[in-house]
Amino acid sequence: MQNFEKNASPDTYFGCNVFNENVMRSCLPKKVFEAVMATRRMGTPLPRDAADSVANAMKEWAVANGCTHFTHWFQPMTGVTAEKHDAFLTPIAGGVTLDFSGKELIKGESDASSFPSGGLRATFEARGYTAWDPTSDAFIKDRTLCIPTGFVSYTGEVLDKKTPLLRSMEAVSRASVRMLRMFGNDKVQRVVTNVGPEQEYFLIDKASYDAREDLILTGRTLFGSMPPKGEEMDDHYFGNLTQRVSDFMRELDVELWKLGIYAKTEHNEVAPAQHELAPVYTSSNIAADHNQLTMELMKKTALKHGLVCLLHEKPFAGISGSGKHNNWSISTDDGQNLLDPGDTPQDNMQFLLVLCAFLKGVKDYAPLLRLSSASAGNDCRLGGNEAPPTVISVFIGDDLQRVLDAIESGKPLEGFGKERFCLGVDAIPQFRKDTTDRNRTSPMAFTGNKFEFRMLGAADSISCFNFVMNTIFSHEVTAFCDELEKAEDFNTALHDLLVRTIRETKDIIFNGNGYGDEWFAECKRRGLPNYPSTVESLMQYDRPEFVAIFEEMNVLSRAEITSRKEILLDNYSKIVCIEARTMLDIARKKIMPVCISYTKQLCDAVNAKNQLSPSLNVSTAVEDALVCEISDLTAGLFEAIEDLREQISLAGREQTAVEKAKAYRKLVVPAMERLRTTADALELLIPQDQWPFPPYSEILYNI
Ligand code: ADP
Ligand code: MG
């Protein structure tokens, strides 16, 4: 870290690596600047000559800040970002000039066949385009000007995670402005969705990481018995930061601030070695870009401190996994948060309509929300006693529940929201209680003026959840508008619609403990859909009613949905296959040999004891018992290895993406679990200095 940054106040360098509104205002001709702002605020297309002017200004700014290259920065279906660097150089007689045209800014070309396309692209028709997203700021990373872009195929199908998100934000704006007009608001022109994603992660020592093939190849430990101390003392949550972690967080903050990312809150999480970073919320598209950059910078910055940042959803079995809480809200260009209930939600018809659209969307399209958080990694986390269950429900809290009950029953609501907190210490001011308590067990919790979706895995892109949420919300709002605009008496029609929707959506609301067994029984009774794994949930993607709303809201076409389903299933199979092969490698080449050699040591000890004079009557009972136990387990290990090999080969024979994924889930995953159980039992019996990789206790309590 440069010294000036260590000592400087963040406001002096915040966003210094971003071609943001301030920079544009100072370096673009006024007309061009206004055209860019209109594009940002209203989505109006940017004229070509304005693009040329922006491109030139971007290049001048980037070169002045040490850049030599530019890249279109995009988010293909691999889940990580992609970039292809081009130098600004153009040869001229006698030398070079630095060039960057509007054409290069607006459109890039890329080999689409090298990215997952789910059948949309064949190698012989490989052309794909990256298209500039003027709503997200260009920025500098590694002396390269990065231009946020969408990624589409030659024939126009979307191949990335950003474009559907942008389309879904358009849909929310269209539907919400239409709704606001019904309430007499003629001013609002644009409505945006916002996201504040809280990011969990683990930090471990680089040396421990390097000693574990499973972490290197798969991002999670595939073996490892529980350490003697886990999370039972609750002493890590919000605990003091160690110097090393604190240094890491400070440097990460500076790096993020330079990129204009509002990193705000950092603390230790529940599990040992687990931490969280929460940024201030911003519009969904920018939040998605920023979250990708945050994950990338977490990894890079950790390395500078001799640490490795693990973003896997479940790096250590038996220890809490890492999620990403997606706080979602909708705001208007006249400064309203449409999810803010205000002081008297019972009279706030606009809020109630928005809430009802949300609840109805979640009820009718729960499988889509479920699949937006589906991944092989998240399968290890969801439904455990630390993360939300795999069934979607919504927590709205007692206050809002009373409001909905009152509307449904037509009875007045008394004493609402008046409660104040008093801590019993005069010096501490009293404050109004939040309208909802926290419910950490709900997949989707109302938290005062936003909904927090808690199912996403730590490594996930937030785009899929947000474009799904935006699509279903826009669909419901549109349907409500269709109904209410036709009504002769708006107020009566609105009241009837609210009562009807409150009744229809009762089953999706659950304000109790989502981790309890009673809830699982109750879910069944209510008939709520439960897709326990990624494979079952992805199978729902192209159900006709889902295709219909994606097409209606102009977010994804049928072909794009089919391709996404294929890509995600294929990705699942590949991940499980790599994990299974890694397990085989470790079990055969590392675990089996130490088991055999330790058995031999024990046998040698027995033999040595037996050489002693019988009159000493030395017992070999302990060695005998250990040899028996270890031999049995080693035989079990051998069997489990052979079994896993067999299951991998069976799954590999399946032809389609769907059948393959099903086979990996049904055959390979359980075989991996069997192998792990046996190996973990052996870990408890073999001397630590002989076990081939560091144990959990060393990895988790070492920084
Ligand atoms: P938690 O109690 O879940 O840990 P935090 O207060 O740490 O919550 O984090 C809340 C997150 O929600 C932050 O990222 C914050 O920016 C975000 N947030 C706050 N208000 C909104 C809003 N209106 N819309 C979207 N996100 C919001
Ligand atoms: Mg949270």
User: How many DSSP H helices and E strands does the chain contain?
Assistant: 26, 20
Categorize the per-residue pLDDT at 1 as very low, low, confident or very high, splitting at 50, 70 and 90.
Answer: very low
Residue 459 near residue 201, CB atoms below 8 Å: no
> Which contiguous run of DSSP H or E holds residue 654?
none
Categorize the per-residue pLDDT at 430 as very low, low, confident or very high, splitting at 50, 70 and 90.
Answer: very low
Kindly give the pairing relationship between strand 144-153 and strand 69-74.
Answer: parallel
Query: CB 382: neighbour CB atoms within 10 A?
Result: 30
- Residue 414 in any domain: the answer is yes
Looking at the CA of residue 265, tell me the nearest atom of ligand 1.
7
Task: State the pLDDT at residue 421.
Answer: 44
Does residue 463 register a pLDDT over 80? yes
Task: State the pLDDT at residue 16.
Answer: 96
Residue 140 near residue 67, CB atoms below 8 Å: yes
Q: Which amino acid is at 669?
A: V
Categorize the per-residue pLDDT at 415 as very low, low, confident or very high, splitting at 50, 70 and 90.
Answer: low
Q: Which two tokens stand for residue 640?
A: 């489990």
Q: How far is CA 388 from the centre of its chain?
A: 14
Q: What percent of the chain has pLDDT over 70?
A: 94
Does residue 125 register a pLDDT over 80? no
Lining residues, ligand 1, CB within 6 Å: 194-196, 198, 265, 278-281, 325, 327, 329, 337, 449-450, 452
Give the CATH number of the domain where residue 247 resides.
3.30.590.10
- Residue 568 in any domain: the answer is no
Instruction: Pick the residue whose CA is nearest to atom 14 on ligand 1.
Output: 196
Residues 337 and 277 in one domain: yes
- Report every protein residue that has its C-beta within 5 angstroms of ion ligand 2: 198, 325
Ligand 2 geometric centre to CA of 198 (Å)? 6
Task: State the pLDDT at residue 202.
Answer: 96
- Residue 563 in any domain: the answer is no
Categorize the per-residue pLDDT at 263 as very low, low, confident or very high, splitting at 50, 70 and 90.
Answer: very high
Ligand 1 geometric centre to CA of 203 (Å)? 23
Domain boundary among 126, 144, 160: 160
Residues 430 and 551 in one domain: yes
Q: Report helix angle 463-486 to 544-552, nearest 10.
A: 80
- Residue 490 in any domain: the answer is yes
Does residue 467 register a pLDDT over 70? yes
SS3 420: strand
pTM: 0.94
Ligand 1 geometric centre to CA of 178 (Å)? 27
Does residue 300 register a pLDDT over 90? yes
Report the mean per-residue pLDDT for the chain: 91
The mean pLDDT value for 383-390 works out to 86
Domain boundary among 527, 556, 585: 556
Domain boundary among 495, 523, 556: 556
Give the CATH number of the domain where residue 688 resides.
1.20.120.1560
- Summarised one tens digit per residue, pLDDT across range 165-198 is 999 999 999 999 999 999 999 999 999 999 999 9
Residues 597 and 535 in one domain: no
CA gap 526, 520 in Å, rounded: 10
SS3 150: strand
Categorize the per-residue pLDDT at 83 as very low, low, confident or very high, splitting at 50, 70 and 90.
Answer: confident
Task: State the pLDDT at residue 684.
Answer: 96
Looking at the CA of residue 278, tell me the nearest atom of ligand 1.
14
Identify the domain containing residue 120 by its residue range.
Answer: 10-160
Ligand 1 geometric centre to CA of 275 (Å)? 16
Q: In the chain, how many domains are there?
A: 3
- Residue 104 in any domain: the answer is yes
Q: In the chain, helix, strand, coil percent, each to 5?
A: 50, 15, 35
Residues 391 and 244 in one domain: yes
Q: Which of 449, 447, 431 is nearest to 342 (CA)?
A: 449
Residues 252 and 393 in one domain: yes
The mean pLDDT value for 439-448 works out to 88
Residues 504 and 583 in one domain: no
- Higher-scoring residue by pLDDT: 215, 105: 215
- Residue 455 in any domain: the answer is yes
Instruction: Pick the residue whose CA is nearest to atom 17 on ligand 1.
Output: 196
Ligand nearest to the CA of 282: 1
Ligand 1 pocket: which of 194, 268, 277, 327 to mutate (most atoms <8 Å of CB)? 327
Residues 183 and 200 in one domain: yes
Ligand 1 geometric centre to CA of 281 (Å)? 7
Ligand 1 pocket: which of 281, 324, 325 to mutate (most atoms <8 Å of CB)? 281
Instruction: Pick the residue whose CA is nearest to atom 1 on ligand 1.
Output: 198
- Summarised one tens digit per residue, pLDDT across range 604-642 is 999 999 999 999 999 999 999 999 999 999 999 999 999
- Residue 564 in any domain: the answer is no
CA gap 429, 423 in Å, rounded: 8
- Residue 270 in any domain: the answer is yes
Ligand 1 geometric centre to CA of 196 (Å)? 5
Give the CATH number of the domain where residue 32 resides.
3.10.20.70
- Summarised one tens digit per residue, pLDDT across range 193-240 is 999 999 999 999 999 999 999 999 999 999 999 877 777 766 666 677
209-223, 245-259, 431-445, 478-492: range with lowest mean pLDDT:
431-445
Task: State the pLDDT at residue 438.
Answer: 61
Task: State the pLDDT at residue 696.
Answer: 95
